[in-house]
Amino acid sequence: MASCSGGREFSLASNADRNILLVTIDTLRADALGAYGGHASTPNLDALASHGARFDFAHAHAVVTLVSHASILTGRYPYEHGIRDNTGYRLRPEQPTAATLLKARGFSTAAFVGGFPLDRRFGLTPGFDVYDDRMTRAGPTGDDVSEAHDVETVRARREPADRERLDDAGVGDVSRHEVGAQERQ
């Protein structure tokens, strides 16, 4: 099968060692990244792009984070999955998603999100073994206190096999060195 990344071939054949890593970065234009000819220094994202499927012509079906992610995960247009905005909507639990379909095929699944529109309350969690959406906590005065922790902290909380899978996927490197987005407790 021809790749969407410059015609390089890749296969979708079953492979027990295959991993799927979906990286979404809110409000980032592809042409800012090195893999797409941009001037930003993004060596880890560039390496992922060079060894996987990189899409040259992709667009969002919505300019709103939750709506767009619901479309990405379900493969459906907003009028089909029903999400219209970042609040006030919830993905129906019976709606198949990439996570539920992959889980049914034996994949271990995890999501690490860093933005309120992807909070579990909006229904994107079905099918994920881990859905880590902790971003803030209340301080002693009731104010939100952001306590950042990097992927090393997340990795330390996981079972050894899960830590190895995160290492193999390079998730720690992508999050820590390029995106700058950190999970919040």
Could you give the maximum distance between any two Cα atoms of the chain, in Å? Answer: 57
Count of Cβ atoms closer than 10 Å to residue 37 Cβ? 9
Distance CA(8)–CA(73), nearest Å, equals 25
Q: In the prediction, which pLDDT does 147 show?
A: 44
Q: In the prediction, which pLDDT does 106 show?
A: 86
Which two structure tokens, joined as six digits, stand for 58?
């992709």
Band (27; pLDDT cuts 50, 70, 90):
confident
Which stretch, 29-38, 91-100, 132-141, 172-181, has highest mean pLDDT? Answer: 91-100
Q: What is the CA radius of gyration of the chain?
A: 17
Closest residue by Cα to residue 71 from 21, 121, 127, 24: 24
Q: In the prediction, which pLDDT does 8 show?
A: 58
83-122: per-residue pLDDT in tens? 999 999 999 999 999 999 999 988 889 999 988 999 999 9
Which position has the token pair 């820590």?
Answer: 176
Judge whether 19 and 169 are in contact, CB under 8 Å: yes
Identity (one letter) of the amino acid at 88? Answer: G
Closest residue by Cα to residue 73 from 10, 123, 11: 123
